Structure 1
Amino acid sequence: MTHDPHLETTAIDWLMRQRDPAFEDWEAFADWLAADPAHQRVYAELSALDADLAGLPGPPARHSVGDVDASPAAPRRFGRRQWLAGALAASLVGVVSVGLLQRAPDSYRIETAPGQVEVVSLDDGSNIVVNGGSSVLLSHADPRRATVERGQALFTVRHSDEAPFRVAVGNAQLVDVGTVFDVTRTDDRTVVAVSEGAVIYNPDADAVRVDAGARLAVRDGGAAEVSPVSLAAVGGWRSGQLVYDGVPLADVAAEVSRTTGIPIRTAPGAGGILFRGALQAGRDEARIVNDLAGLSGTRATRDSGGWTLAR
């Protein structure tokens, strides 16, 4: 597999630096990994190659008598270890690609179709419920990290001061403070709602604390806005009980679509309506849509692409 030589160089640089017992720049390394799934893939492949090099047998033992080496002189030969090591070094200047050994990447992805819910139990005792129409990237090696690529996931985290749980979403990081929290990623917008404990949004930059009963909404590059949220509303989709108190109708329509599989969108001018009310996901399609339209003061029309809510 061929990768960007610059990316390979950066990944190898991290590997080399981590061999130093005095290496302490773990936060920067974690941020680099979380910045792009490609970083994780390339680093995992290089780590596998590095492990193979370390596991190869060394040269045969040489026997000495006193201070004199008694082994016969032999022509210098390059074994598999030296050849692979040379190839690894060559990749520093982009001469060869990383794909010398084919290994499964460390990361794995949980993807769901609209209307499908997936429950993931992590090795550290934490739990993630992935809503429909979503994609979450996880790590076999580090169960304390996740990336919400799109859609929605509810995290029930077992807190650890020594190894805080981190969630990458968009260009931001979330760090748990003993928490149950819901993360939604749609296009360039992130919404975080907390029902237990707290999370810190972008601890190294914005450092916005979101406590239980609060909801943070932010667009990439914009300022975070924090508002109250009903505790019952956080992750209510998990049980099919959708509760909202002053949530933009566009967000409500997107969540209902993910949870039920019913395609619902809002027309221009309707998405910003603040919706208050409760919906039951288990009802038939027309009933759910009509309830949503009636409670939001909109009208619902249907076409080949699904339902549209308009003023």
Structure 2
Amino acid sequence: MSTVRTELDQEALHWLLRVNDPAFEAWEAWDAWMATDPDHADAYWRLAEAEGDVVEALKAAPAPGVQRIMPRRAFALPRRSAIAAAVAVLAVGGAWIGWSQRAQPWIIETAPGEQRNVILADGSEVSLAGATRLALDRRRPRDVRLEAGRALFEVTHDAAHPFVVEVGDATLTDLGTTFDVTRLGDGARVAVSEGIVRVDTRNATATLNAGDAVVATPDGLESRSVSPEDVASWREGRLSYTGETLAIVAEDLSRALNRPIVVSPSLADRQFSGSLTTTTEVASQKTRLARLLGVSVVEDGEGWRLEP
């Protein structure tokens, strides 16, 4: 192992030990170090994986006697014996298992009208729309929770570890595909561009293929159809719909245009099919929306209200 590699592994081990401390609070510094160089993230997650192997060995070992806690094979991790040994020494101390299982929350947020791309530890990519809040756990990078807003997931295939997204009362399970998720006021919308996604709610289950979409509400799952190439079109400033209600269209517009947009109750269930461009100047947006949606767009404080 080169000197550079050894020093990098020592840095990564230093960060892993700090992160495992229940009192650790320097998440911004950790994020900055991880983002400085792709090799940093590679070394950190490689070490974290080695740690996970050791923890699993400890959990499966007989309780009495330190000598029996670490089977000999646990020290034979390929190409990382030195790292695994260092982790194992700390593990024997007793508190390591508790630290290693502690959640390491990571919140990613965007402002209204903002977009942001994030690469997860497993290589999956998430594109966040405006006014979006995504909750992750650094120890479980393939389990995420969409608390608000909209996100496009381009998932790295791993058949042994499904990618799971929780959104409201719905759970989405994916093995490697591209799909879009929106947290709605009373549920969630899911649209698949590529691959297969399973949607589970309290009272319904659906399997979505490319071109399929559903809106999950407390009443069940409402089927939608979508062109696969339109699933990610919002990233280029284009919102595309096939038979979507104006209530949901208004929620999408609010995120994209950075202004609250509500719809009159009498129009909430009216369906719209077509595309809306969100990159034009605000001055022309009202006129365009009124014409395309067939509504009146009325000033409502800092936002707009869609009326008959």
Asked if TM exceeds 0.5, the reply is yes
> C-alpha distance in 2, partners of 1:149/1:242?
21
Query: Who is 2:106 aligned against?
Result: 108
* 1:121 matched to 2:161: no
What residue identity is the alignment partner of 2:274?
G
> C-alpha distance in 1, partners of 2:147/2:104?
17
Residue of 282, 285, 294 corresponding to 2:282: 285
Contact 1:194/1:214, CA 8 A, preserved across alignment? yes
Alignment of 1:80-159 (within 5 A): 106-159=104-157
> C-alpha distance in 1, partners of 2:204/2:108?
29
> C-alpha distance in 2, partners of 1:289/1:230?
26
> C-alpha distance in 1, partners of 2:140/2:154?
16
Q: 1:158-200, CA deviations, whole angstroms, 9 ceiling, x for partnerless residues?
A: 1211111111111221111431111111233111011111200
> C-alpha distance in 1, partners of 2:244/2:137?
32
Q: 1:26-83, CA deviations, whole angstroms, 9 ceiling, x for partnerless residues?
A: xxxxxxxxxxxxxxxxxxxxxxxxxx9x84886xxxxxxxxxxxxxxxxxxxxxx8xx
Bigger relative contact order (CA 8 A; separation at least 6) = 1
> C-alpha distance in 1, partners of 2:140/2:302?
40
Aligned-pair identity (%) = 35
Query: Who is 1:273 aligned against?
Result: 270
Residue of 181, 184, 193 corresponding to 2:191: 193
What residue identity is the alignment partner of 1:19?
K
Report the aligned-residue RMSD: 3.2
> C-alpha distance in 2, partners of 1:20/1:171?
34
Report the CA distance between 1:271 and its aligned residue. Answer: 1.6
Residue of 243, 254, 260 corresponding to 1:246: 243
Secondary structure of the corresponding residue to residue 216 of structure 1: strand
Which residues of structure 1 form unaligned runs of 5+? 2-14, 23-51, 59-80, 86-97
Which residues of structure 2 form unaligned runs of 5+? 1-21, 23-54, 63-86
Change (3 A) 1:129 1:57: closer
Contact 1:276/1:295, CA 8 A, preserved across alignment? no
Change (3 A) 1:55 1:151: same
Query: Who is 1:234 aligned against?
Result: 231
> C-alpha distance in 2, partners of 1:245/1:203?
23
Residue of 294, 297, 300 corresponding to 1:297: 294
* 1:19 matched to 2:65: no
Q: TM-score, normalised by structure 2?
A: 0.66
Contact 2:170/2:216, CA 8 A, preserved across alignment? no
Report the CA distance between 1:108 and its aligned residue. Answer: 0.3
Secondary structure of the corresponding residue to residue 262 of structure 2: strand
Contact 2:170/2:202, CA 8 A, preserved across alignment? no
Runs ≥4 in structure 1, deviation > 4 angstroms?
Answer: none
Contact 2:191/2:214, CA 8 A, preserved across alignment? yes
Contact 2:178/2:195, CA 8 A, preserved across alignment? yes
What residue identity is the alignment partner of 1:219?
T
